[in-house]
Amino acid sequence: MTNTLLEPDFSLAFTGTLTFDHNLQGEDVFTNFCKFIDGLPLAVEYITGAAVGFDSFIGQWMAIHFPMMRHIVYVPSNYSKVSFWWRRPHYGYDVEEIQCPGGTTYKYRNKQMVNRATELVAVPRYRESHPLSRRSGTWQTIKLARKQNKTVHLFILEENK
């Protein structure tokens, strides 16, 4: 992280593909991704969405590398795509869990994350124009952030091989 002066209310929310697996992305992608992460501003709060794939990876990575910062996980009411990584007792993560109300959608969760964050870090697998991005929660979150004129840091996996 590049910013050495912390702004007291600066926060980063993370969103990304459900199919992210840092062990399977390939060395070039992971190297490029680490450079991308190192170029992000330092924040006092890191926010993720509790999903499997990228959310799980980045939540754990940020909690390990920045244990003194606040870590927030927004848990959708539908648990079908949730990874409860922060509840594993042997890791000892200090993470605040915010449970979305019953019956709410993933879009509700995504809006809450964007509303809380200063900037968004997004890691979709494909560009928005790709047919597989049509129903992407990652792209939905990007659009919500852009609608609020928030900075979006974009790392497209398929373009970083």
pLDDT tens for the chain, 161 residues long, are 655 556 778 999 999 999 887 666 667 777 888 888 888 888 999 999 999 999 999 999 899 888 889 999 999 999 999 999 888 876 677 899 999 999 999 999 999 999 999 999 999 989 889 888 888 999 999 999 999 999 999 999 887 65
CA distance 108 to 116: 12
- CA-CA distance, 133 to 142, in Å (whole number)? 12
DSSP letter, residue 22 = T
pLDDT of residue 132: 82
- Separation of alpha carbons 133 and 62, rounded Å: 26
Task: Extract the tokens encoding 146.
Answer: 């852009």
pLDDT value of residue 8: 77
Domains and CATH numbers, the chain: 11-159 (3.40.50.450)
- If we measure between CA atoms, which residue out of 158, 124, 151, 155 comes closest to residue 41? 151
- Closest by CA position to 111, among listed 134, 78, 145, 77: 145
- pLDDT score of 1: 60
Structure tokens at 51: 């999903």
